[in-house]
A and B are shown apart, each in its own frame.
Chain A
Amino acid sequence: MKLSIQVRRKDALLDLTRTGQACRFQIGSDPERHAEVAQPEPGVYSVLMAGRSYEARVEPGADGEVVVVIDGHRFDIEVRDPRQFRRRNGFHGIDGLENVTAPIPGKVVRLLVPLGATVTSGQPLMVIEAMKMQNEMRAPKTGRVVSIPVHEGDTVAAGAVLATIE
């Protein structure tokens, strides 16, 4: 089967034939390779290729990417099936509006700017406390704060919208 992959921002087509553990695969115009792939634990792949043994661990990454870790090296890879039309996730937003979202679950301890305030890029907007550390959430761009849907003391989940800048 053919899959479109993106590694280090480069797109390539990966052609893969798999019979049990035996894999034949070709990336772009590279020569075809043979590998044996077993999965000893969920998310852990043991790969034998050209006489070498690789242990690859898979973690979910951002935006539907997967992160493959081999011997401490991380590879961010996006995989798509070109036969399926799938729109990329993500908020593209109305022009000019930008959301500030919580990168971590935590608690809003202090709001530093009022609704309607004009802020400059990098200016602290609020303080979020998570795991006993206080982190300043900063304005991603210069503009006016048009929405602050949270209050001091609120607990917020990762990804929650904290403020919108116009």
Chain B
Amino acid sequence: MFRKVLVANRGEIAVRVMRTLREMGIAPVAVYSDADRTSLHVRMADEAAWVGPAPASESYLRIDRIIDAARRHGADAIHPGYGFLSENPDFAEACEEAGIVFIGPSAESMKLMGSKVEARRTAQQAGVPVVPGSSDGVNGLDNARTVARQCGYPVMLKAIAGGGGKGMRRIDSEHGLESAFNLAAGEALNAFGDPRLYIEKVIERPRHIEIQVIGDRHGNLIHLGERECSLQRRHQKLIEECPSPLVSENPRLRDRMGEAAILAARAAGYYNAGTVEFLVDGDSHFHFLEMNTRLQVEHPVTELVTGLDLVKLQMLVAAGEPLPLRQEDVTWRGSAIEFRIYAEDPYNNFYPSPGTITRLTRPLGPGVRLDACVYDGWTVPIEYDPLLAKLAVWAGTRRETVARAIRAFREYDVAGIKTNIGFFRQILEDERFRDGDLHTSFIEEFLARRREAPPDPEMEMVAALVAAIHAMEQTANSESQTRPPDKRSRWLDAGRNDLLR
């Protein structure tokens, strides 16, 4: 097993990976940019290497600096986390050339499955159903117009190199094509250094269900079940769960999707952890969407229901060991739901809200797992993704998990910046969410139909009282600050009082 592993990432995922490294007795090495000197992953690590200024393109995306840091610190392997260099085959190759193990699939599988166009072709050839659309990238705006016409609107524009909703736009008619094309290409260029896009037909109100796979370097490849990630906003996942309510109704679906995912992964010669994403239509037909050749943000829900540590499995197979379990050893128990806590303002168009955390109370108690990079006094940098934390909740049944999540959100308090914590509470109380009636337009439709319940009058009175007291204290504080300082010294007072005793 490795002795020392460099984590080429930041934020909650760097913290998550380091936790397993600690448990395995492996020394974690952090990398950080100017914006992250006091971030939690640096504080948690045994060793830390500076890799450049705040912009990711000058630090976390610099292959040369990351490899150099790993060499200088004597790391045996690099865990890339998700985002940044995690799906960059050049990085995997650079690791190999430097004699450092890349904890992930081979550069070849990554190239194949990382190109959405190639991945589609690979899946199709392996007999896995795919979403109708352009099999190749589009070449400029005019070509995009032609391809979109052939598919028929609505269509989806996606970055060939992309993921995480960046460089992705839905277009309902030719009228919106030009603006969407330019925005998507710009985002793709900034996020991935590659502006190329492709087009896919939109399946209306689909469910987004993905299968976790993991393989070793001896040809063993298994699946760890599904995660339903239908609740998204602007193509960013917000809530993920296992089991999918659809699979709970139809348990055979898990086996069929799992087998399809293994077929696709095997066709790419895949090893280590990966995720095969499917769109599922209203008739429970599933279509291959893409493969993510890395650990997913939402992996904790799989860990909670299977009892496995995915990062540990990644370490084992990267070190050349065989998978410690077979397909029939994998079991699923209870229900887990994960919520992505973003630094954004749900009451103001979900605009990002960077800033300093002035108060933090974390949810605790039974069945609550928090993967976070936040501490009281930390300043959320504006340079990176606004994901602050993932709250994952487990209980025996979905109904109990929902109740537990509401309880956990009641305890959760982050002040100083805006977060979407209050928004989740509203979704958890929504009847359609509770019924498991999920699809990828759920959040949009929820925002349109939600009606704020009239507040409890007693509670409103308490709120008015608190606001008044708070305002009075603020005024008192600012007056005491502007008043000239008291000439009397409290040390002198204390001394005099002692003498007078």
Question: Chain A: residues with CB nearer than 8 A to chain B?
Answer: 1, 3, 5, 7-8, 12, 14, 16, 18, 23, 25, 27, 30, 33, 35, 37, 41-45, 47, 49-50, 52, 54, 56-59, 66, 68-75, 77, 79, 81, 103-106, 109-110, 124, 127, 129-136
Contacts and interface: CB of A to CB of B under 8 A. Distances in A.
Closest 6 CB pairs of A and B: A75-B463, A79-B471, A77-B467, A68-B463, A131-B352, A72-B425
B463 A7 contact: yes
Contacts of A72: 409-410, 422, 425
Contact of A14 (B234, B343, B464, B475): B464
A23 B472 CA distance: 13
Contacts of A49: 458, 461-462
Counting chain A CB atoms within 10 Å of each CB, the highest count among B352, B383, B456, B467 belongs to B467
B354 interface: yes
Interface in B341-357: 343, 347-349, 351-354
Interface in B165-190: 166, 179, 183, 186-187, 190
B464 A27 contact: yes
Nearest to A74: B422
Nearest to B348: A103
Interface of B: 166, 179, 183, 186-187, 190-191, 234, 343, 347-349, 351-354, 358-359, 382-386, 409-410, 413, 415, 422, 425, 455-456, 458-472, 475
Contact of A124 (B179, B186, B191, B475): B179
Contacts of A35: 462, 465
Given A71-B410, A127-B186, A47 B455 contact: no
A146 to B, nearest CB: 24
Given A71-B410, A130-B352, A131-B382, 9 more contacts: A18-B469, A37-B469, A42-B359, A44-B413, A56-B463, A73-B456, A75-B455, A81-B475, A134-B186
Contacts of A129: 190
Contacts of B347: 74
Contacts of B353: 104
B464 A5 contact: yes
A134 B359 contact: no
Contact of B464 (A77, A106, A109, A131): A77
10 contacts: A5-B464, A8-B460, A14-B468, A42-B358, A49-B458, A57-B359, A58-B470, A74-B422, A75-B460, A77-B464
A70 B462 contact: yes
Given A54-B459, A81-B475, A109-B190, A47 B183 contact: no
B352 A133 contact: yes
B462 A66 contact: no
A23 B468 CA distance: 11
Given A35-B465, A72-B425, A50 B458 contact: yes
B415 to A, nearest CB: 6
Contact of A130 (B382, B409, B415, B470): B382
Given A1-B472, A69-B422, A131 B466 contact: no
Contact of B468 (A16, A50, A57, A104): A16
Contact of B384 (A18, A131, A134): A131
A69 to B, nearest CB: 7
A45 B469 contact: yes
A35 B183 CA distance: 54
A33 B470 CA distance: 18
Contacts of B382: 105-106, 130-131
Contact of B351 (A41, A66, A104, A127): A104
A54 to B, nearest CB: 5
A56 B351 contact: no
A52, A70, A72, most chain B CB atoms within 10 A: A72
A66 B465 CA distance: 12
Contacts of A59: 415
Contacts of B183: 127, 134, 136
Given A72-B409, A104-B353, A79 B467 contact: yes
A59 B460 CA distance: 16
A25 B459 contact: no
Contacts of B462: 35, 47, 49, 54, 56, 70
B466 A56 contact: yes
